[in-house]
Structure 1
Amino acid sequence: MTIFESKRVRDIKKAQKEKLLFRELSQLFLQATIDDSRLRDVYVNRVALSADKSICFIYFYSPQGPAFFEEKLDILKLYKPSLRKAIAEKIDARYTPDLVFKYDEQYEKIEKMENLFEQIKKSDK
């Protein structure tokens, strides 16, 4: 096996674990949202693992913007230990990654780009 093949295998395994974490965390967060109405309008958008898989970055999106997410961040942090414990019970892995909550600006960037494209399209007419 060459270096490139082993890197490719590592990338595939990492993507599989991210997908599994996303699925489990989405379900757990949905249940938390049902139980705690203060978490409404905050959604799990994607999950990314650090290179050594010790940290799981959970990216949230809210239609109400990053300021709304910052208000809810303290509530989210209260759920961190129970989410991590639930992940440890559901996923068969040697280690459970530490959870870090972040606001996902990706959607807003895409929206800005689409608006720019629309403006360009209108100015060409």
Structure 2
Amino acid sequence: MINSSAVSEIKRAQKESQLLREISSMFHTVAMDDNRLSGLFVNRVELSSDKGWCTIYFYTNEGYEKYAEQLEVLKLYKPSMRKSLSSEIKARYVPNLKFEYDSKFEKQQRLELAMALAAQDVRKHQDGG
């Protein structure tokens, strides 16, 4: 039998998935209309343990500095995003939204590049090069 904390984690993951779908869709529409947000995309969301806060992680290939500029524009859309979420998701309340830069994505990309380069070196040495 599954314990209650496991069930709670499953439900939170399902809610995060739903929020990611809705927020990504909303943000895509907003970014198409507002070119100040071009190059920025939603990478992931995390729901706090009490489900009162939803942290939306954004990423841009142009780095943190560009994100910091775009954050001011994002903040303008926060009330309307929350209002739109309230009509799209079935919940008693909509979590507060918090925007963050996703540095994990950059780290993951650097790690994958390093692993690919290491694998390439191993192949060279195996081939006698």
Instruction: Identify the match of residue 51 of structure 1 among 49, 52, 69.
Output: 49
Q: Which amino acid aligns with 1:13?
A: K
CA distance in 2, matches of 1:20, 1:115: 31
Runs of 4+ more than 2 Å apart: 114-125
- Name whichever of 110-119 and 63-72 sits farther off: 110-119
In structure 1, list runs of 5 or more residues that go unmatched: none
Aligned to 2:105: 107
Deviations 1:2-24 (A, max 9, x none): xx610011001000100000000
One-letter amino acid of the counterpart of residue 103, structure 2:
E
Bigger CA radius of gyration:
2
Aligned to 2:4, the other structure's residue is in SS state helix
How many residues align? The count is 123
Which shows bigger deviation, 105-114 or 22-31? 105-114
Q: How far did residue 119 of structure 1 move?
A: 4.7
Instruction: Choose from 20, 31, 42 the match for 2:18.
Output: 20
Residue 92 (structure 1) aligns with? 90
Instruction: List alignment gaps of at least 5 residues for structure 2.
Output: none
Q: TM (normalized to structure 2)? A: 0.88
What TM-score does the superposition give when structure 1 sets the normalisation length?
Answer: 0.91
Q: What CA RMSD, in Å, does the superposition of the two structures yield over aligned residues?
A: 1.5
What CA distance in whole angstroms lies between the structure 2 residues aligned with 1:117 and 1:95? 43
